[in-house]
C-alpha cells in the first residue's frame, strides 16, 4: 500500500478516448472492459494505487454497445452497432472469433447463459440464442417492436428475461427454446432489470424514473411501482435480496431498498452526465460506472457489503454514502453481506 492510501480508497477514474457506452468487471480478477462509442473496446486492470491499460481492440467498425465476460472469465464478448459479435480470448487479448452480420440491426445487449450458449438482442427487438461451440444461432425470437434494452439469465428456472423500448418484459424458456410469456405493454420504456427477494421479484428501471416491480410468474402487469428517481433508470444491479443499486440519467448512483421501499442514499455521481452502466467487482468491494464524460469511475461499497458491528454502522455510512433525499424515511442502512475475497493472479501477465 502506497503512502497516503487508505484501506478503502477506490481506484482512480479511467479516462478513455470517447463516450463509454458499457462497462463490465471480471468475475474473478480486478480487471474490466469498457465499450466505446467509436467502436473500441478497452481492457484494463484496476487497483487503488493505479490502473493499467491491457489492450485496446478496434475490430468493430461502429459503436460498441455491449461488453460482458463469461462466467469463468476466460472470454470477453462484445456486440456492436455494426451488427457483429466478437469473442476475445482473455489469455492472449486477441479476438478469437468475429461473427459479422449476426443480426439485421445493431446489437444492443448480450447475456452469457453458460459455457455453450449466449443470447443477444438488437435494435429491432430480435433476440437470438447462440451455440458458442459452432458460433451459430440456434433460435430467434421477436416479441418486441423496439430495441432490447437489457437481459438477465436465471439458471434455476432456465428463463431468460428481457426488457425493451416498447415497454415489454419478455420471458423465454431456454430449456425448451420457446417463448414463455410476455407482459402487457407498460406506459414507459423498460430500460434495465434485476431479480431480488430470492427470485420472487423482478425490478425494472423505466424511462420515467419509476421502478416497476413484477412478481415472478405473474407477468401481465406490475405488482408495484416505486417512484424516487427524477430521471430514467438506465442500469440496475442487485446488492442483496432486499437492495438494489441504480444508475440514472441524472448522473447519480443510488442505493434503493425494496419492501419496504426506501431511498437509502447516493454512493457516486458523474456530475450532470447520465450513468450508462454500473457493474460490481468480483469481491463486492467496488462498483464501476461509465458515462458520456469518457470515464469509468470506481466507488467503494465495502460499507454496504461487509458485515459491520452496530456501533460502526453510522460511521461507515457517513464515509461512503451521501445522505438520502430529505423525503426519505430511512434511518437504516441496507442489509449487509459478507464480502468475498478472491485473490486471483492477473491475466494478460505477459502482454
CATH of the domain at 75: 2.40.10
Q: What is the pLDDT of residue 339?
A: 30
Tell me, yes or no, whether 162 lies in a domain: no
Tell me, yes or no, whether 35 lies in a domain: yes
- Please confirm whether the linkage preceding 162 is cis (ω < 30° from 0): no
Q: What is the pLDDT of residue 322?
A: 64
Tell me, yes or no, whether 73 lies in a domain: yes
- Alpha carbons 325 and 4: distance in angstroms, whole number: 32
Q: What is the pLDDT of residue 347?
A: 35
- Domain with 55 in it: 23-106
Q: What is the pLDDT of residue 306?
A: 80
Tell me, yes or no, whether 282 lies in a domain: no
Report field, pTM of the whole predicted structure over 0.95? no
Tell me, yes or no, whether 97 lies in a domain: yes
Tell me, yes or no, whether 268 lies in a domain: no
What is the grid cell recorded at 213? 416491480
CA-nearest of 251, 256, 272 to 335 is 256
Place of cell 449466449: 118
Provide the domain count of the chain.
1
Contact yes or no for 321/266 (Cβ under 8 A): yes
Query: Which helix (H) or strand (E) element contains residue 148?
Result: strand 148-154
Contact yes or no for 301/267 (Cβ under 8 A): yes
Structure confidence by residue, pLDDT tens digits, 28-59: 999 999 999 999 999 999 999 999 999 999 99
Q: What is the pLDDT of residue 272?
A: 84
Distance of CA 314 to the CA centre of its chain: 28
Q: What is the pLDDT of residue 232?
A: 97
Q: What is the pLDDT of residue 323?
A: 53
- Alpha carbons 193 and 189: distance in angstroms, whole number: 12
Which parts of the chain sit beneath pLDDT 70? 1-7, 307-351
Tell me, yes or no, whether 62 lies in a domain: yes
What is the grid cell recorded at 298? 470506481
Tell me, yes or no, whether 276 lies in a domain: no
What is the grid cell recorded at 229? 428517481
Residues β-bridged to residue 68: 77
Which parts of the chain fold into alpha helices (H)?
Answer: 302-305, 313-320
Amino acid at each position: 500500500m502506497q503512502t497516503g492510501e487508505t484501506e478503502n480508497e477506490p481506484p482512480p477514474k479511467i479516462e478513455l478516448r470517447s463516450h463509454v457506452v458499457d462497462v463490465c468487471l471480471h468475475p474473478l480478477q480486478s480487471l474490466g472492459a469498457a465499450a466505446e462509442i467509436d467502436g473500441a473496446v478497452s481492457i484494463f486492470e484496476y487497483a487503488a494505487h493505479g490502473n493499467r491499460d491491457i489492450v485496446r481492440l478496434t475490430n468493430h467498425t461502429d459503436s460498441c454497445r455491449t461488453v460482458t465476460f463469461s462466467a469463468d472469465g476466460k472470454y470477453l464478448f462484445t456486440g456492436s452497432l455494426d451488427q457483429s459479435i466478437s469473442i476475445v480470448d482473455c489469455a492472449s487479448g486477441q479476438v478469437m472469433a468475429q461473427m459479422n452480420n449476426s443480426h439485421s440491426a445493431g446489437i444492443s445487449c448480450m447475456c452469457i447463459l453458460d459455457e455453450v450458449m449466449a443470447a443477444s438482442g438488437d435494435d429491432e427487438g430480435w433476440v437470438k440464442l447462440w451455440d458458442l461451440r459452432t458460433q451459430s444461432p440456434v433460435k430467434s425470437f421477436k416479441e418486441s417492436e423496439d430495441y432490447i434494452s437489457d437481459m438477465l439469465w436465471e439458471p434455476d428456472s432456465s428463463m431468460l428475461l428481457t426488457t425493451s423500448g416498447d415497454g415489454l418484459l419478455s420471458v423465454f424458456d431456454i430449456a425448451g427454446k420457446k417463448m414463455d410469456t410476455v407482459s402487457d405493454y407498460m406506459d414507459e420504456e423498460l430500460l434495465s432489470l434485476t431479480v431480488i427477494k430470492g427470485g420472487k421479484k423482478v425490478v425494472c428501471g423505466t424511462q420515467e424514473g419509476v421502478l416497476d416491480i413484477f412478481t415472478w410468474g405473474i407477468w401481465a402487469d406490475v405488482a408495484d411501482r416505486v417512484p424516487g428517481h427524477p430521471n430514467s433508470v438506465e442500469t440496475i444491479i442487485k446488492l442483496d435480496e432486499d437492495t438494489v443499486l441504480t444508475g440514472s440519467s441524472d448522473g447519480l448512483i443510488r442505493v434503493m431498498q425494496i419492501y419496504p421501499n426506501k431511498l437509502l442514499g447516493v454512493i457516486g455521481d458523474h456530475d450532470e452526465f447520465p450513468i450508462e452502466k454500473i457493474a460490481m467487482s468480483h469481491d463486492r468491494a467496488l462498483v464501476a460506472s461509465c458515462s458520456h464524460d469518457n470515464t469509468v469511475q470506481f466507488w467503494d461499497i465495502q460499507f454496504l457489503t461487509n458485515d459491520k458491528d452496530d456501533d460502526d454502522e453510522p460511521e461507515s455510512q457517513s464515509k461512503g454514502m451521501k445522505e438520502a433525499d430529505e423525503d426519505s424515511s430511512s434511518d437504516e442502512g441496507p442489509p449487509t453481506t459478507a464480502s468475498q475475497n478472491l485473490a486471483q493472479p492477473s491475466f494478460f501477465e505477459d502482454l
